[in-house]
Amino acid sequence: MITKIQKFVSSTEFANALKITIAAVSPVLFFSYLDNFSVGFTIALGAFFTFPSDIPSNLKHKIKGLLTTSFIIAGVNLIINLCHPIPWLFYPVLVTLIFCISMILIYGQRATMVSFSALLSLSLAFAHLNTGWEMLHYSGLLLAGGLFYTVISIIFFHIKPNRYIELQLAECIRLTAKYLKLRGDLWELNSNRKSITKKQLHLQVELNILHENIREVLITNRTKSGSSGQNRKMLLSFISLVEIMELAISTSFDHNKFHQKFDGYPKALETYQNLAYNLAKAMKALSKSIEQHKPYESKRNLIEDLHHFELAITNYKKDIQNESSSEGVLMLITMLHYAEKQVEKIITLERAYSATVNTKDLIKGRDKDIEKFIKPQYYPLSTFVENLSFNSTVFRHSLRITLTILVGYMIGKVLPLENVYWIILTIVVIMKQGFGITNERTYHRIVGTLVGGVIAFGILYVVHNSYAISTMAIIAMLLGFSFNPTNYKIGSTFITIYVILIYGVLSPDNGNVIEYRILDTIVGACLCLLANYFLWPSWEFLSLPAYIESAIEANRNYLKEISIMYNKKVDVSTEYRLARKQAFIEIGNLMASFQRMLQEPKSKQNKLPQVYKLTVLNHSLLSSLASLGTYIQSHKTTEASKAFNVVVNKVISNLELAMNLLENPNPDSENMVSNEDLDQRLTELKNIRAKELQQIQLIDQEAYQIKMQEAQLVIEQLIWMTNLSENILKTTQLLTSVKKESQQ
């Protein structure tokens, strides 16, 4: 329990909650002491509105983002106050303002949070409308609140400048360890491999998001601040984590085949499974030490585990002396080589945190052209104009939220509701682009509001001391903002408690506040659900073809880079690494899209089987490509044969045909390539492997292992890739035919 509390208090979420609590409470206390509560409260609102845009980044981007948000929230409030008294001007301006603010989502995560902050300011502008010079005074105080929060955020940044990235790395190490643990679970004789694979796919989506966050901050910091020792250590850790994950994905084994092969000799697989578990345990222990800010001491001897596995292979060779044992030995040696590489990378990761090493030497060459791995931040107007179309999900979302807020405002005006702005606030907080996440947040917000209301009223019924109530309100605020990013239901509960307790201090006799808040929340939530279902809905199946096409294209580009490296025998190029990174990202995006589709109504999942199959096929193809790429990097390979290039070209052709089908469901029959040459080349490749198997006694052991590894890994991967690409093409044909039928 104590460990969990320590972890919670040291988390980024708690630190962020502490920032906004200090920034919001300090001015209220200070100006209350000066008998000017309203000024302090308005400054606190400015800090509160600015807070959402404070996302992790380097200091320069952080300051720019917070300053921009501060001026936007003050400007939005001023515009609403200026236009509100003139109905013929107010409504067109309100519609235009909401739409434009919502449209800036197209510019990425930071712009999304700035948009959210601006909409919060807009919704609460209706809570306190001003006239005359009071408008400028009020907007100025909001700006002051934003600037005050910016100062607090900068101070926190300088107190622990690397804490966020350390915690992100710790979480990345923990999730990678979990992924490796699942790989170990696959070696259980009667394991549910389908369920384990699904868990691995979900983990990969989480890891992709983490990788992007870490990459953005680390590489930008390196570019702006130079290569410090601490930055090098974290960059080395991140590169090692990416390589560990790539190795894990690239080395996929046929577990059914292994268990059939080693049923009579389970010791070898049990020893390997124990090694796999120890890899995961070592990484989990490292993650904990980083979280707790303690020196790391390795308690597991991974080298010894490797020796145990080598001994198990030797014993297998001694105990089973027959012709079929040679293939089993080769399979075990392939597993051993994977484990050796994984242990090497994990030990490098451990050394970064447990020993005084020269990280400059360890990272040398591995950070080449690393700045190319992040997207430059720029916001061209052309992007905004290009998205002014119903083909854009952001455009449809902007129209949807604009109309919903307008309807909510009208309902609040017509019905005898006390706080119209709370309906608008509920819409702003709940409504997202996807139906699934909006539906989930609606449920969590209603439950959080009801539970929080009951608890808060219970407190107000028992406690009557304003100082005690104020203290509990501050604690509820801190906990609410701490839980909000990770558990919206609990976060919403604490924020509801905070709001009601504040009302209890400010207006002790206003007992019906909870009734209005619940009613307003329900009205706003219902409007969100109806709008997301009926107003230009962004059902996932509408955007899935684009995700599928991007995933196929990324795999194709990755294969092209692998082919160049195999043919020319060159070192790993920046283009190869970029293609590999993009393939991992696009497959992750496809998986995330599929997961969102599962949250939508069953009636909107009409292509679910085909989408799931294409998701798995593209992931399997990525695994095969990574396996081939990793092997070529770490082994001296023979000259690329004509058969190799013919097969690779056929795989690329299949992938391009699938991409064309997604764009045009009625392709020209002339584009369909004959399989005669391909079948001949596949037969040729199979004959090469068969010939190698027959020549076991004609070559020495070392040459045998080298030839057999290349024969097994390269040739089998090519055959596997061919099958996968053909299945991708067939499933895409089925998907587009289903799409065509559904449109008729």
pLDDT mean by block of 10 residues, the chain; 744 residues: 68 80 86 83 86 78 86 90 86 89 80 84 80 86 91 85 78 87 79 77 79 72 53 77 79 66 73 85 85 74 83 76 62 78 82 62 49 54 76 83 88 72 81 75 78 80 76 82 78 79 62 66 82 78 81 88 77 77 82 78 75 83 78 63 74 86 63 50 57 48 53 69 84 71 46
Q: What is the pLDDT of residue 510?
A: 52
Q: Give dist(CA 331, CA 343) in Å, integer.
A: 19
Q: What is the pLDDT of residue 503?
A: 66
Residue 6 tokens read as 């320590």
Are 259 and 228 in contact, with CB atoms under 8 Å apart?
A: no
Q: What is the pLDDT of residue 692?
A: 47
Q: Give dist(CA 247, CA 339) in Å, integer.
A: 9
Radius of gyration of the chain (CA): 30
Q: What is the pLDDT of residue 369?
A: 47
Query: Residue 421, by phi and psi: left (phi above 0), alpha (psi -120 to 50) or beta?
Result: alpha
Q: Give dist(CA 151, CA 146) in Å, integer.
A: 9
Neighbour tally for 407: CB within 10 Å: 16
Are 58 and 214 in contact, with CB atoms under 8 Å apart?
A: no
66's CB contacts (< 8 A; 6+ apart) are 50, 53, 54, 146, 149, 150, 153
Are 143 and 95 in contact, with CB atoms under 8 Å apart?
A: no
Q: What is the pLDDT of residue 604?
A: 72
Looking only at Cα atoms, what is the longest distance across the chain? 97
Alpha carbon 129 to chain centroid distance?
40
Q: Give dist(CA 685, CA 710) in Å, integer.
A: 11
Q: Give dist(CA 132, CA 688) in Å, integer.
A: 87
Q: Which residue has the tokens 């699934």?
A: 436
**Strands, E, within 254-404: which ranges?**
none
Q: Give dist(CA 154, CA 146) in Å, integer.
A: 12
Q: Which residue has the tokens 């190799």?
A: 644
Q: Show the domains of the chain with their CATH numbers.
A: 1-161 (no CATH), 163-353 (1.20.58), 392-538 (no CATH), 540-736 (1.20.58)
Q: What is the pLDDT of residue 635?
A: 61
Residue 529 tokens read as 């659900």
Residue 85 tokens read as 């008294």
SS3 content of the chain, % helix, strand, coil (to 5): 80, 0, 20
Alpha carbon 516 to chain centroid distance?
37
Q: Give dist(CA 504, CA 519) in Å, integer.
A: 18
Q: Which residue has the tokens 């969590």?
A: 444
Alpha carbon 648 to chain centroid distance?
31
Are 24 and 44 in contact, with CB atoms under 8 Å apart?
A: yes
Tell me the one-letter amino acid at 199: K
Q: Give dist(CA 324, CA 224) in Å, integer.
A: 59
- Packing angle of the helix pair 420-430, 393-414 (nearest 10 deg): 160
Are 70 and 46 in contact, with CB atoms under 8 Å apart?
A: yes
Residue 630 tokens read as 């990793």
Neighbour tally for 601: CB within 10 Å: 11
